[in-house]
Structure 1
Amino acid sequence: MHLTPATLETDQFRAVLLPGFGTEGGYSLLVDETTQSHVNPDDPEDLQLPYVRTIAAIVDALFAPDTSVNALHLGAGALTLPRFVTHTRPGSSQRVVELHGDLLDFVLDAIPLNDPSGVEFVVADAVAYVETLADDAARFDLVVVDVYTGSDAPDAVAASQFHTALRAALAPGGIVVVNAFTASGPDLARDVEDALREVHGHVIAIADADLLSGTRIGNIVFAATDHEPDVDALAVALTARGSLVAPDPRD
């Protein structure tokens, strides 16, 4: 597949898909000049962004290879993680919630899913959608919260009400993973952690030490569960996925 740069202009944001990025090729999605995603449709395990490798390692540590999962993705980007889950856990059921239907169409038109089976798309505000999950029979093994337009995230993703609703939608043994991009606000990561700790028994933060200390901006990934996670298995998975960071239990 070969692409020339493609651009989507709306009254809310500007998105650009740039081909030929990454050590193995692939495409970068920029929204309002912020790199939102990298995806290599020829190799769904080619994960260039460190925080995405971290989330993939969490999946590896929690779910055995070729074990299907029921996943909810809040925020679509270039669909890097849904592609990864489909590739590594065949037969998985995935629901992707994206606020901007035009962005979703833009990505899918340019870079279609290799295997769209088992992937359901919902165009909705993620925060409002989560409030409807109480009436949904589905229970999710994995919830990924990665809700951004450019570098901005809604305040509600750091609210206890939001995370209480997500916890209720988890299957037994399920996990909520939140990407907190600290450039969107200096208090975002702290507020996300506080909200997760209110509603879950165990919370882990994964990032470089200078990010955790607040001396540099970037992505902090939080993982929250109601069962004690296997931190050693997670550390092994992080190393295998090429991440140099270590899990930091916040219990």
Structure 2
Amino acid sequence: MSRSTRGADRAEPGHPSATLSKSGFHAQIESDRYSPGSFLLVVDGTPQSHVDIDDPTHLNFEYVRRIGHGIDLLRPEGEAITAVHLGGGGFTLPRYVAATRPGSRQQVVEYESELVDLVRRELPLPRDAQIRIRHGDAREQLASFPPGLVGNVDLLVVDVFSGARTPAHVTSAEFYTLGRTLLASDGMIAVNVADGAGLAFARGQAATLSSVFEHVSIVLDSQMLKAKRFGNVVLFGSSTPLPFERMPRLVAGDPVASKVVAGAELRNFIAGAAVVTDQTAVKSPPPGRSIFQLKP
């Protein structure tokens, strides 16, 4: 019996679930009826991860696909990288990196130990993947990585959510400066931000990331620029020019077409937004009740 079949057998009956001790949230794993072999991790009613056991290169969520494009442009397929993921969820991106860049060294920080246990039990990680899991707060763990990682990380992914909102302490210039110390000279940070009409939170995050990194681009649904919908904005930052010449074409061809904002257009997007500090940081805005409702 294949691993994917065993995973399906475990994850199907009664929606395997766990109560997360630190937040009190309820987490469960549900089958994706539209994609055999795929599953959704739902936390506090919010779909947080989509995992395709049969094909870990299948990135279903639009913001995850954007980060996947960034990874592919950062380093060629097949070239092992060193990656740190703040926020574990269903380990979708660590699975993707392990599949496309065998031999990569990865570390994942997840706050909720019960969530890690649930995912590893129901949706096992590939046995040959070099993925180390650290339990604890993302910012605290970021400050305690071993010296050998400092200055040697190719990719830092920040996808930290408590329910449907990003905690304030992982949105400040001080936090991003701490993250920068981990990165190699040409390493890249990728940040997932959720925001709604007006994009005030995303503008502040773009301003903040730009105060720490010399080169910043953001990718988002064009309708969000018109302030018509709540959704995800992915921000990329690096100390060297981002290798994103092909990014506009890649994201334009996604199922939900997206736009790359950089250079003068990014400066216009940021205009008037203040850099977020530890003293001014706030949680990301909550989505409307209907935003993440799952169809019955």
> Residue 232 of structure 1 aligns to a residue in which SS?
coil
Matched, 1:197 2:207: no
2:19 maps to which residue? 9
Contact 2:70 2:247 in 1 (8 A): yes
Following the alignment from structure 2 to structure 1, what is the Cα–Cα distance between the partners of residues 32 and 222? Answer: 31
Q: Is the 8 A contact 2:37 2:54 kept in 1?
A: no
Of residues 9-18 and 241-250 in structure 1, the stretch that sits farther from structure 2 once superposed is 241-250
The 1:239–1:40 alpha-carbon spacing in structure 2 relative to 1, beyond 3 Å, is same
User: 1:31-67: per-residue Cα shift (whole Å, max 9, x none)?
Assistant: 0001101001110011111001111010111110100
Local SS of the residue matching 2:103: coil
> Is residue 110 of structure 1 aligned with residue 122 of structure 2?
yes
- 1:219 paired to 2:229: no
Question: How far apart in 2 are the matches of 1:53 and 1:21?
Answer: 20
- Contact kept, 8 Å, 1:75 with 1:146, in 2: the verdict is yes
- Secondary structure, aligned partner of 2:99: helix
Which moves more between the two structures, 228-237 or 49-58? 228-237
- Distance in 2 between the 1:155 and 1:52 partners? 22
Preserved contact between residue 25 and residue 43 of structure 2 (Cα < 8 Å): yes
Q: Contact 1:72 / 1:94 at 8 angstroms: preserved in 2?
A: yes
Verify the 8 A CA contact 1:37 1:78 in the aligned structure 2: yes
Contact 2:219 2:258 in 1 (8 A): yes
* Residue 98 (structure 2) pairs with residue 98 (structure 1): no
Is the 8 Å Cα contact of residues 222 and 259 (structure 2) preserved in structure 1?
no
Give the Cα–Cα distance (whole angstroms) in 2 for the partners of residues 56 and 26 of structure 1.
Answer: 18
Inter-CA distance 22–38: structure 2 relative to 1 (3 Å threshold): farther
Q: CA RMSD in A?
A: 1.9
TM-score (norm 1): 0.92
Secondary structure in structure 1 of the residue aligned to 2:164? coil
Report the equivalent of 2:289: none
SS at match of 1:152: coil
Aligned with 1:59: secondary structure?
A: helix
Q: Is the 8 A contact 1:21 1:28 kept in 2?
A: no
TM-score computed with the length of structure 2 as normaliser: 0.79
Query: Aligned partners of 1:68, 1:211: CA distance in 2, in Å?
Result: 34
**One-letter code of the match for 1:110?**
E
Say if 1:22 and 1:48, in contact at 8 Å, map to a contact too: no
Q: Is the 8 A contact 1:86 1:115 kept in 2?
A: no
Q: Point out where structure 2 has 5 or more consecutive residues left out of the alignment.
A: 268-296
Amino acid at match of 1:16: Q
Alpha-carbon separation, structure 2, partners of 1:58 and 1:192: 18
Q: After the TM superposition, which parts of structure 1 deviate over 6 Å for at least 4 consecutive aligned residues? A: none
When residues 22 and 194 of structure 1 are mapped into structure 2, their CA distance, relative to the original with a 3 A threshold, is farther
Number of the residue aligned with 1:159: 172
How many residues are treated as equivalent by the alignment? 249
Whole-angstrom CA distance in 2 between matches of 1:116 and 1:161:
35
Name the stretch that deviates more: 172-181 or 24-33: 24-33
Cα deviation 1:83-142 (Å, max 9, x = unaligned): 000000111000000000110111000010123531100001001112224x63202100
Query: Counterparts of 1:91 and 1:243 in 2: how far apart (Å)?
Result: 31
2:194 and 2:76 mapped to 1: Cα distance?
28
Contact 1:41 1:114 in 2 (8 A): no
After TM superposition, the structure 1 stretch with the greater mean CA deviation from structure 2, 208-217 or 114-123, is: 208-217
2:42 to 30, 38, 43: 30
TM-superposed CA distance for 1:9, in Å, is 2.0
1:89 corresponds, among 98, 101, 106, to 101
1:1-251 aligned at under 5 Å gives the runs 1=5, 2=8, 3-4=11-12, 5-11=15-21, 12-133=24-145, 136-138=147-149, 139-182=152-195, 187-239=200-252, 242=255, 244-249=257-262, 250=266
Distance 1:240 1:88, change over 3 A: farther
Q: Secondary structure at the match of 1:207?
A: strand
Q: Is the 8 A contact 2:19 2:114 kept in 1?
A: no
Seen in structure 2, the aligned counterparts of structure 1 residues 61 and 242 have a Cα distance that, compared at 3 Å, is farther
Deviation at 1:69, TM superposition (A): 0.5
